[in-house]
Amino acid sequence: MPNSDPQLEFNFTNKRPFVEVPRRGSHINQRALQVEGSFVRGDSHPEFEGLFYKEQSTAVQQWVPWERIERKRVALRKWQQENPEKGAASTRKWQQANAEKNAAKARRWSKENPEKVTAMASKRRKKLKTNIKLHKTAKNALHAVYKLCKTLTLCSKGSGSSEAFHVDHIWPITHDRFCGLHAPWNLQILEAKENMSKSNSIPTT
């Protein structure tokens, strides 16, 4: 339910400080924070700084303070550091459960940001070209992997399926800690949705 106060004018540049957020006792007054428009998770409140959109529950927008989000992030990072195997397993489980949704999100982002996709593809091609110098036999094996991937996709389309296949680098060539090799022994063929949900995560085994 939008805020009906006729005197209220939202200011997107000079927001009110968090201490002025309307409260009901010690809790944030969610009813008083309702605003017109649609929001996605993580959007900031148009009037108050330090408030971020979480979800809509029982037709009411739910806003949370940045401090609470950061506390959860810190706790999650700490848990992942203390439980690396459980953390990796949890990530894989989430990726598998949300593979199609993540793939659809990636496709939508690509359509909305064609210039970024072009820039990323150009950067990737350059990395692949200068990654490692292969012997002719290894080059042929590398090309065979891509040829097989293309054949699998064509067979899939020919059978009436919408599934496509991608060549994936087992150890990603783009990572903040290392650079995998563009070589046949570092390639695998995955379903497109699985590859897109995998992103540039590293193997856990």
In this prediction, residue 7 carries a pLDDT of 38
Q: How many domains does the chain have?
A: 2
Q: Residue 58 burial by CB count (10 A; 0-12/13-18/19+): exposed, middle or buried?
A: exposed
Measured CA to CA in angstroms, residue 137 lies from 38, 99, 171, 181 at distances of: 56, 35, 21, 16
Residue 73 shares a structural domain with residue 104: no
Residue 166 maps to a domain: yes
In this prediction, residue 2 carries a pLDDT of 42
Residue 74 shares a structural domain with residue 115: no
In this prediction, residue 10 carries a pLDDT of 45
In this prediction, residue 9 carries a pLDDT of 46
Residue 163 shares a structural domain with residue 189: yes
Strand partners, 187: 169
Residue 36 shares a structural domain with residue 63: yes
Residue 73 shares a structural domain with residue 110: no
In this prediction, residue 13 carries a pLDDT of 55
In this prediction, residue 204 carries a pLDDT of 66
Strand partners, 52: 44, 64
Structure tokens at 124: 């990737």
Residue 117 shares a structural domain with residue 188: yes
The pLDDT tens digits along the chain (205 residues) read: 444 443 344 445 568 888 899 998 889 999 999 998 888 888 899 999 999 999 988 889 999 998 888 898 899 888 888 888 887 778 778 777 887 787 788 888 888 888 888 887 777 777 787 788 889 999 899 999 999 999 998 998 888 887 889 888 888 887 777 778 889 999 999 888 787 777 777 776 6
| Boundary of a domain, candidates 55, 82, 109 | 82
Residue 94 maps to a domain: no
In this prediction, residue 131 carries a pLDDT of 82
| Domain, as residue range, for 130 | 99-198
